[in-house]
Every structure is written in C-alpha cells, then in structure tokens.
Amino acid sequence: MIEQILIGKTKEAVKSLYQLDASLAQIQLQNTRKEFAGDITLVVFPFTKVSRKSPEATAAEIGDYLQANVAEVESYNVIKGFLNISIKKEYWINFLTENYTIDQFGFQQTNDNQPIVIEFSSPNTNKPLHLGHIRNNLLGFSLSRILQAAGKNVVKVNLVNDRGIHICKSMLAWQKWGNGETPESSGLKGDKLVGKYYVIFDKQYKEQIATMVADGAIPEDAAKKAQLIIEAQQLLQKWEAGDEEVIGLWKKMNGWVYEGFAKTYKTLGIEFDKTYYESQTYLHGKELVEEGVQKGVYTRRADGSVWIDLSAEGLDEKLLLRSDGTSVYMTQDLGTATQRQKEYNPEQLIYVVGNEQEYHFQVLKVVLKHLGCAWSDSIYHLSYGMVELPAGKMKSREGTVVDADDLMQEMFDTSEAMARELGKIESFDDDEAKNLYRTIGLGALKYFILKVDPKKNMMFNPSESVDFNGNTGPFIQYTYARIKSVLRKAEEANFEFTTLQSGDLLPQEKELLKKIHDFPAMLIQAADMHSPAVIANFAFELASEYNRFYHELTILKEENLPSRGLRLCLSQFTAMVISNSLWLLGIEVPERM
C-alpha cells in the first residue's frame, strides 16, 4: 500500500537530508483534508528540530525528495508544517484492478501463534439476558471477528455464572412460591421463568427488611438477619456441600435457563468456541486460595475467611474465601484464568466486562502475580460503558431490565413498520419480508450499539436506530442493496466491468477509491484499539461516499464505456468492502430492499 512506501521513503529522506534515523512514531501520515489538494499528508513538525529550518522549508525539502524517489508521487504542496502529497492516477487504477475481485480484501490470513482468548457474555443463571448483555455480546463477538481478520488466532469463550448466592435466591423463591411451575406449564422461556423468581425473592426480602426496621432494627442489621437471606445462604452452603436435593433443584432450574439462553444467542447470531461454568471452576479457585495460604501470600483470619492485603500495590484488602468456606467471584476467576492459561497458553486473555468491574480485574492480576503467575500481565479488561434507555437505568432485582428477546422483537416490529412505510417490500413474499425485517432490525440494533466507542456510556433509542437516513445500520444496508441492484442490472444488460480508463479520474471516483483504500488500515486500527466503533464508522463513511458518487455520476446510463466499466468495478468493490465491514460487526446484508 502507498502508505508503507511513503513511510519507507520518508525514513530515507530524513536520513539523507538530516542524518536522522526516524522512528515510526515520528512519521505521521494522515488523509489530506478535503479543502486542500492532495491525497496523503505528512506532518513534518517532528523533523524541524534536526532540519533547523522552518516547517515550510522542511516540508519542501522532504517533498522534493519524495517526488524524485517515489514513482507513485505526482506532486505536492505545503501548508505550514503539512506536506500534502498527490498520488498518480495510475496507482489508484492499479489498486482497483488488483483488488476489486478479492472477496476478503483487507483481511489477513489467520496465524497459528498463541491464541487470543476472549471471554464475553458471562451471564448469571438467575435472569434472562438484557440490554446490557446485548452490548457485551456484540462487543465480544465483533472484536473476535476483527482480531481474526487482522490475522490473530482467536478463541471465543463464555463463562456462565451458574452458582452463588444470587442463584440460590431464585431457587429459594421457586421452592417457596413456585407451586411446581415450569416453562411448559407457564409458557415462559426458562430463563424468564427463573428471572421471575429472582424478582419475587427481592420483593419479599425487602418486605422482610421493612418489617424489621419498623420494629426497631437498624437497616444494615435487618439486611443481614432477614430470614430469607439467611435461608439463601444456607442453601448455598448445602450446594457447596453437595446436598443431593439442592443439586437436583439447581440442575433443573439451570437447565431451563440454558435452553432460554440458547434461543437468545441464536436470534442474536452469537456463538462460542467453548463454554465454561463457574460450578466447574470455583473448586480449582479454592485450591489456589489454599495454595496461597500455604505459601504465606494469603492470610486466613480467625473466623476462617481468607484475605490478601494489596495495600502495597495501592489497592486494599480483598476477600478470597468467606468464613463459611464458600467462594466469591474472585475465587472462581482465579480458577478459570489458570485453567485457560493451562489449556491455551494465550498471547492475551481478554475479558469483555462492564466498567464497574475495573477494580476487580486490577485485583485479579495482582492476586495471580502474588501466586507467581507472571502470565497475569496478559490479562486485558475490555471495559465498556453502560447502556441506558430514555427511561433511565435498569435494575434486574426490581424487574425493570429491558429483556433482550423483547428488545429484538421490538426491533423486528419497528423495522417492519418502517419498511412498509417506505415501500421496500412490495415485491417480497412473506418469508422474504420476514427475513428482511429481522436483517434490518438486528442490523439497526447491532450498529447503533457498536458505533459508539466501547469506553463510553450510551443511550439506546430503538426508533432512531432503524432510521434509513443518517449514521445507522439500515442506511448502510440500504446502500449495499442499492449497489447490488445496480450490479444486477448491469449483468442483465451484459455490460462490461473494466478498470481501463482513458481520461483522468473524476474527484468522486478518486474519493471513493481512497475511502476503500483505507479499509485495511482501519481494520488494524480497530484490532489495536479493541474497538468495533472504528469499523462501524468507517462503514458509514464508505456508504456515504458511495451515495455521493451514485447521485453525482451516471453509472448504467453512462455512454462512455471505459467510464461505465470503471464505475461498475468501483461499485462492486464498494459492495464487497461494505459487506466485509458489516460482517466484522456481526451484521448481515440484504441482497435487495
């Protein structure tokens, strides 16, 4: 690519002109701003100290060198400390000719090196997946595709939190108030049924606390001594002791939840290479805690609980095992991390988890390091912001979460209403129309969430996400379908696709080519930044550039055959890159709309 050529020749230039061995960080290339002539801009300020000349003079000297030594450079101009370089038409035509039929343009071949293990989803089996889980799943799945396309060996894993006090709360509520209700008898998905009893527990628990406080108890004491929480804790102790009746109930209710999760994952288009279960990893974590006690790096207190003092690392004391012998989240994370290290010896272990757990992962790395696990430095927490709706925050215990299944159905319904209103299904049969609603609805949902930088909190507005104009998934999908329509008509008319070009590239043609040319670099940037938003916003910019090209130039009615052929090749290339970009986001493209 031309950027690599310019980087190499710029290193030569500053070495020849100023005897400087420039680092890659010093060579800053960027796309030339549209108000200036040029294609690629070199920032020359990093070299003015050694050139001992003004930015303009330095830029002119480097520009002269590049024009004399790089065959692809046609001319340059200088704006203050910015060297704007124009690339010859022949380079862009050759780029189009060599790449427009490559199905996976920009993708790199997957290597066989140490894998990157990405954990995402990580649901609790006491409630159905909700909007927050959707952002988690979409980020993790998209990032796995981006890293894979960037050449990385990727393993997608899920950790199901299928044990603990929160699970026991749902179990206890079902024992007390369930009357044998099942998914079959209630007509509810299994995960929704179990979530129903989690909400019931919280309601009854709060009523008990309120009664105790009314009788004079201190709220903090009431929360600890309420009969329901004590019974839930006893249920957890029985579970960890292997009580057959408790284990049987746990297996039955978890089975309901797994069936529900599977349906949601399938609708969302999410899949994993391996699923771990906390019930299978926490024991290894407890063994590691005992190992740490024996080594003297963890401390057992008089009540039997185990702690580690991390004040020397600027952190605080951390509980690793409760006084009653039951484990905490950190316990199972220790077990799971060491198990994955043994299985995969990963280059990097990425956890896709909300930003409220940032401290947890700081502690996890340090706790492992105290055990002598030098590989803990490979742990990376992809911390993402929360998702809110116009109505405000969601709370699982109070039953105010936005259920993932309900949200997806709302997206399908909204996309149907929008498609009907815009007349985009007139020639579709029922099955085709239904598939289109799902494709548009999921595309709208996924794009709206993934276009936001993961680190930022976001507001999700379903109606805005399905707009066919603006920075939305449906806008990009419609652009793809428009291009495919043009290509079908061209093929029906037996038009020739050719990159031969007798005259100059028109600005609209060149700008579209330049945008496509950016795709490989955008993919690497997204992988390096762990940010699907880079790809999402690139896809929107490419779709916007194509629509400008489409509206300002003729394609099928163009009488100049070389120009028509080139524009058809450009259209085919654009459709392919849009499709690949959306694939990286887990979004399907409709062949027609």
CB contact at 8 A, 222 and 156: no
Q: Tokens 């800053």 belong to which residue?
A: 28
- Give strand pairing partners of 381: 351
Crossing angle of helices 430-450 and 532-552, in 10° steps, is 120
Q: Tokens 């185990």 belong to which residue?
A: 306
Distances 281 to 288, 335, 337, 345, 361 between C-alpha atoms, Å = 11, 5, 9, 17, 17
Rounded to whole angstroms, the Cα distance separating 15 from 69 reads 14
Ramachandran category for residue 269: left, alpha or beta (phi over 0 → left; psi -120 to 50 → alpha): left
Residue 189 CA from chain centroid, whole number: 27
Binned at pLDDT 50, 70 and 90, residue 388 comes out as confident
Binned at pLDDT 50, 70 and 90, residue 400 comes out as low
Residues making up the chain, counted from first to last: 593
Q: What are phi and psi of 169, to 5 degrees?
A: -65, -45
Nearest-CA neighbor of 499 among 572, 549, 557? 572
Binned at pLDDT 50, 70 and 90, residue 391 comes out as low
Q: Flag the least confident range among 324-328, 434-438, 492-496.
A: 324-328
- CA 173, 177, 182, 186: dihedral to nearest 10 degrees? -120
pLDDT tens digits along 44-87: 999 999 999 999 999 999 999 999 999 999 999 999 999 999 99
List Cβ neighbours of 82 (8 Å cut-off, separation of 6 or more). 36, 41, 42, 43, 44, 59
In three-state secondary structure terms, 418 is helix
Q: Give the pLDDT of residue 516.
A: 98
Binned at pLDDT 50, 70 and 90, residue 513 comes out as very high
Rounded to whole angstroms, the Cα distance separating 73 from 66 reads 7
Nearest-CA neighbor of 573 among 103, 201, 116, 135? 103
Rounded to whole angstroms, the Cα distance separating 121 from 160 reads 8
Q: What are phi and psi of 64, to 5 degrees?
A: -60, -40
- Diameter of the chain by CA atoms? 92
Q: Give the pLDDT of residue 581.
A: 98
Residue, of 430 and 79, whose pLDDT is higher: 79
pLDDT tens digits along 256-310: 999 999 999 999 999 999 999 999 888 999 999 999 999 999 999 999 999 999 9
Domains and CATH numbers, the chain: 2-87 (3.30.1360.70), 116-161+276-402 (3.40.50.620), 162-272 (no CATH), 407-584 (1.10.730.10)
Rounded to whole angstroms, the Cα distance separating 245 from 243 reads 6
CB contact at 8 A, 4 and 524: no
Sequence letter at residue 478: Y
List Cβ neighbours of 382 (8 Å cut-off, separation of 6 or more). 139, 140, 143, 350, 351, 352, 353, 454, 530
In angstroms and rounded to an integer, the radius of gyration of the C-alpha atoms of the chain is 29
Structure tokens at 46: 């990093």
List Cβ neighbours of 576 (8 Å cut-off, separation of 6 or more). 100, 102, 103, 105
Q: Give the pLDDT of residue 503.
A: 76
In three-state secondary structure terms, 366 is helix
| pTM passes above 0.75 | yes
Cβ-count burial 147-158 (b if 16+ within 10 Å, e if not): bbbbbbbbbbbb
Crossing angle of helices 404-422 and 131-149, in 10° steps, is 80
Binned at pLDDT 50, 70 and 90, residue 502 comes out as low
CB contact at 8 A, 178 and 378: no
Binned at pLDDT 50, 70 and 90, residue 399 comes out as very low
What percent of the chain stands above pLDDT 90? 84
Rounded to whole angstroms, the Cα distance separating 80 from 60 reads 10
The 10 Å Cβ neighbour count of residue 461 is 12
Residue 523 has pLDDT above 50, yes or no: yes
Concatenating the DSSP letter of every residue in 543-558 gives HHHHHHHHHHS-STT-
Sequence letter at residue 384: Y
- What burial class does residue 133 get, using C-beta atoms within 10 Å of its C-beta: 0-12 exposed, 13-18 middle, 19+ buried? buried
- What burial class does residue 307 get, using C-beta atoms within 10 Å of its C-beta: 0-12 exposed, 13-18 middle, 19+ buried? middle
Judging by DSSP bridges, how do beta strands 274-277 and 306-309 pair with one another?
unpaired
In three-state secondary structure terms, 32 is coil
The 10 Å Cβ neighbour count of residue 251 is 11
In three-state secondary structure terms, 286 is helix
Residue 397 has pLDDT above 60, yes or no: no
Rounded to whole angstroms, the Cα distance separating 181 from 190 reads 11
The sign one gets for the Cα dihedral 162, 167, 173, 176 is: positive
CB contact at 8 A, 32 and 38: yes
- CA 539, 544, 550, 551: dihedral to nearest 10 degrees? 170
Q: Tokens 């020739």 belong to which residue?
A: 496
Residue 393 has pLDDT above 60, yes or no: no
